[in-house]
Structure 1
């Protein structure tokens, strides 16, 4: 029995290593391509790196608006994350702890919004951003991404689990609703807030289609959209394309490696799984 279990564990471990290798190979190939000259890339280099040429990275950093794209991505992602968490926690607290007419109906609307795919709203959002004069501005990228129902649902689940005696004691001490939220309820859920913040930031950073629609000025583009301009500027330049793709993915990959436990926790929570 023990031998069979050890054998099964070894087989599962071998399978996991195989899956990791399959997943890692495209990243490895992108890196190998990015450190080759364009002539070598087109000439069909082998799988193993045969040169270490940083010309593509230098061209991308100094001959494109890469740094500006970084600023736009960091700025829009940070503002979106902060506003989403603020609005989400206040809405969830109201739905969970404040009794008002239509509360259940409003929560039902929040749940029903999960049935609407984001892609179905892009045209209407673009028209609205154009009417508001937010095309080629940060507002055009940020405003359509402020509605994240999963944040409201997750916060509400945890606010519902807080003992009512804690709220009653704070109310007897004269605490207002805002003080209850930010001094009592929110500190109990900093782990959830951190996890949701990381996932929201990564999702906003990786968003492509919406910024692609509302931004046409190269200086206002985010990293995912800016990658397309490298292709247009240099033609079919595979080394440069791979270079900017790796540079664009690096911050998110580093953030995930640092906060992977929180990211996993947020994914499990948003899927309805409580640890």
Structure 2
């Protein structure tokens, strides 16, 4: 029994931490199902006394939620595809090719971890404004394409592939692009899938940059759009949280469906940063 006591203690602490983490999500879901009158009542009601879908109905009928969803889907998918294509190609060049400035370039990529993304916001905004890309999909997408961790992860896995594969392909007359696309990428589909999922989730959840660069529904993503769910008569908590639940739903579904891959990607990223 004494040997099992530490395990029981850690299990209890884990359950407590999970409950504390999940409670805000539960509270948002419950609040979104309440009439606004019940939301502002004093006291704590863990279950809605008069459950209703009025808040969700308002979000779908009085906002551009579907257009925001389209923008989020389009920008997130584009960011994911471009990040994977650019990062994998860059990693292959750093891993398998030899050129002047190779180590300097890789050092710059590694050093980029020391620069927080928020520190580049002003520079990104000035550049996008100079290019006339404010309030456009391209303006939302371009600054999100710089993801050094995907380059480093790909390079580490490419380094582990035996050199004989590339040498044999070169002797058979294969080009570098054919070697990259037909040998190195297929050998790392698991890594590509994991990175694709976590990149998509990060692009979908991104708020700060789309919030700064989007001024209208033409480019506004769902994470920014839900901040527009308000009235002239004050804050409507149920409607705001209904919008938040709708915005988070695709990411929650993606995580539940690809939980193992997401965990692998997080471990890969954490291992690189560590």
- The corresponding residue for 1:202 is 201
User: Which residues in structure 2 correspond to 1:246-261 (within 5 Å)?
Assistant: 246-261=245-260
Task: Decide whether the 8 Å contact of 1:69 with 1:223 is kept in 2.
Answer: yes
SS in 1 for 2:174: coil
By how many angstroms is 1:234 displaced? Answer: 6.5
- The corresponding residue for 2:146 is 147
Task: Decide whether the 8 Å contact of 1:88 with 1:152 is kept in 2.
Answer: yes
Deviations 1:45-91 (A, max 9, x none): 62222121100000001110001110000100000000000000000
- The corresponding residue for 1:266 is 265
Task: Decide whether the 8 Å contact of 2:94 with 2:106 is kept in 1.
Answer: yes
By how many angstroms is 1:23 displaced? Answer: 1.0
SS in 2 for 1:36: coil
Task: Confirm whether residue 31 of structure 1 aligns to residue 37 of structure 2.
Answer: no
- The corresponding residue for 1:225 is 224
- TM-score, normalised to structure 2, is 0.95
- The corresponding residue for 2:7 is 9
By how many angstroms is 1:259 displaced? Answer: 0.8
- The corresponding residue for 1:237 is 236
Task: Decide whether the 8 Å contact of 2:29 with 2:245 is kept in 1.
Answer: yes
- The corresponding residue for 1:169 is 168
- The corresponding residue for 1:135 is 134
Deviates more, 1:128-137 or 1:39-48: 39-48
By how many angstroms is 1:240 displaced? Answer: 0.1
Task: Decide whether the 8 Å contact of 1:65 with 1:219 is kept in 2.
Answer: no
Number of residue pairs matched by the alignment = 271
- TM-score, normalised to structure 1, is 0.95
Deviates more, 1:84-93 or 1:216-225: 216-225
Task: Decide whether the 8 Å contact of 2:67 with 2:217 is kept in 1.
Answer: no
By how many angstroms is 1:120 displaced? Answer: 1.0
Note the aligned Cα RMSD (angstroms): 1.3
SS in 2 for 1:272: helix
Output the CA distance in 2 between the equivalents of 1:148 and 1:241: 31
Gap runs ≥5 in structure 1: none
Deviations 1:154-173 (A, max 9, x none): 00011111111111111111
User: Which residues in structure 2 correspond to 1:69-108 (within 5 Å)?
Assistant: 69-108=68-107
Seen in structure 2, the aligned counterparts of structure 1 residues 12 and 46 have a Cα distance that, compared at 3 Å, is same
Task: Confirm whether residue 216 of structure 1 aligns to residue 215 of structure 2.
Answer: yes
Output the CA distance in 1 between the equivalents of 2:120 and 2:230: 28
Task: Decide whether the 8 Å contact of 1:84 with 1:147 is kept in 2.
Answer: yes
Output the CA distance in 2 between the equivalents of 1:13 and 1:109: 43
